[in-house]
Chains A and B, each alone.
Chain A
Amino acid sequence: MNAEKEEKLIRELMEKSGREMPFVDFENKLMEQIHMEADRSRSFLKDVKLSWFFFIIGSCFGLFLSVIAGQTKEIILGFPAQQIILVAQVVFVVLLLSQFDKLIELTRRRN
């Protein structure tokens, strides 16, 4: 068979190669999944917003407590209050930074 004839035959063959989706419920099944995906995405967005809200509230509360507690000079359970406050402040900063990092990651994932 010469090249021209071959090309013509291939075109003829490939005209018959188109396929239609044979599964009649495909569209509805897929739309159900798409709606589920949309719901998941909306609830994720809501969770991210709530997480930021509580993070900010928690941070403000933590800062407020540090400032208030920093003014006391009492002895608590045999330790000076200043030492206990210092430990609490270190824990607070570590938590603040690690949670902030996680929140940034979550917010990026949303986008």
Chain B
Amino acid sequence: MDSVYIKKVTEGSTDDFRYFIQRYKDLAFSVAVSVVKNEFDAEEVVQESFIKAFKNLKSFRGKSAFKTWFYRIVINEAFKRVQKTKNEVVLSSGQDLPEVEDFTDTFRGMNAEEQHVLVAESLKKIPPKESLTLQLFYLEGNSIDEITNLTGWSDSNVKVILHRARKHLLTAVNAIIEKEYLIGTK
């Protein structure tokens, strides 16, 4: 379906670009916010990415899927924004982190909105590369090879980042749960 709309847009039907915005804006926003950690910056990143995709649509040769091509644009724009704002989160490596307690029951006991907020806040606390990798691997279901292709990082680098990301995410979620629940029960 994407190729039909690409043809229409490149032939001059600008209105048909709305199809891509409707289809990919949420995916792009999820990816962008996982890197820039801020909804307003993420909105701008997505906006700039769509404009860039529109300008370069004629040069899209269809060697990869439109989604992959567009993801690369979003990821590049998001990291450019991080560099510009110097907003990077710095954490220690995964090995230095303490063992986390099993908070599965606490998490399952929360309502859907609380769960969303908890995960969003935790992802904000981990470095951009790590939250992006988690997002691509678990939410979008990309393989390590696909993440390598999207980000330009090496295979082993992606694996290391993913390993650290898991540890950091669990630690961040655990810290928030402990803080909130200790405060709530005291």
Contact = CB atoms under 8 A, between A and B. Distances in A.
Interface of A: 1, 5-7, 9-23, 26-27, 29-31, 33-35, 37-38, 41, 111
Contacts of B135: 14, 17
Given A14-B119, A18-B139, A34 B14 contact: yes
Contacts of A30: 21, 47, 50-51
B52 to A, nearest CB: 10
A21 B26 contact: yes
Contacts of A37: 51, 54-55
Given A13-B169, A17-B119, A21-B25, A34 B102 contact: no
A27 B25 contact: yes
A65 to B, nearest CB: 40
Contact of A5 (B39, B102, B139): B102
- Where chain B touches its partner, the secondary structure class is helix
B107 A18 contact: no
Interface residues of B, number: 44
A48 B122 CA distance: 51
23 contacts: A1-B102, A5-B104, A6-B166, A9-B107, A10-B138, A12-B104, A12-B107, A13-B169, A14-B119, A15-B138, A16-B118, A17-B139, A18-B26, A19-B26, A19-B29, A19-B30, A20-B29, A30-B21, A33-B47, A33-B51, A34-B14, A37-B55, A111-B58
B119 A13 contact: yes
